[in-house]
Amino acid sequence: MSFGSDKIAEIIYNAGAITTLVDTYKTKPAIWFDNIAPEPYKGNDYITYYRAVPVNGALNYGDYKYTINCRSNTSLGAENIQGAVYTAFNRVNPTTGRGLFICTALPTIPPRDSRDDYNAPIEVQFKTNI
C-alpha cells in the first residue's frame, strides 16, 4: 500500500517548475523517495521525500504526512526548490483519484558541516477518502 506516496510522485516528478531546479541523476530528476540521496550522488540540487508519521488505521479517511527535503549547496537554491514544491502541492488535488494536499514550508536548515547542504523542508499533508 502506498499511503499516498504514489500521489506525491505523480506531482513531484511531473512538475516542470520542480524538475528544472534539480540536477539530473542517471537521466532522471534528482528526486528520491527516501530520507537521503543515494551514496554515489554528488550533485548540488536535489529532493528527498518520505512518510513522516505513522498511518492511523482507525480513521475513516486517509491522513498521510510526508516531509519533502529541498536541498541545495546554497540557501537561495534550497528556498527556490522549496517555493516550487510548495506551489505545486499546496491546496492541490492529485491528478488521479481524490484528495487534497496541504503544505507547511519550514525554515531553511543550514549545513551541519562542509559535506552537508542547505535544507528547506516542506511538510505535506495528504487527506483522501479511503
- pLDDT tens digit string along 59-84? 777 888 999 999 999 999 999 999 99
Report pLDDT digits (tens) over 14-28: 999 999 999 999 999
User: Is-above-0.85 flag for pTM?
Assistant: yes
Using the structure block, give the residue that is written with the C-alpha cell 548540488: 44
Percent of the chain with pLDDT over 70: 98
Q: Using N-to-C axis directions, what is the helix angle for 5-12 and 75-89, rounded to 10°? A: 110
The CATH number of the structural domain formed by 5-129 is 3.30.2000.20
* Mean pLDDT confidence for 8-17: 94
Domain assignments of the chain as residue spans, ordered by start: 5-129
Contact 72, 18 (CB under 8 A): no
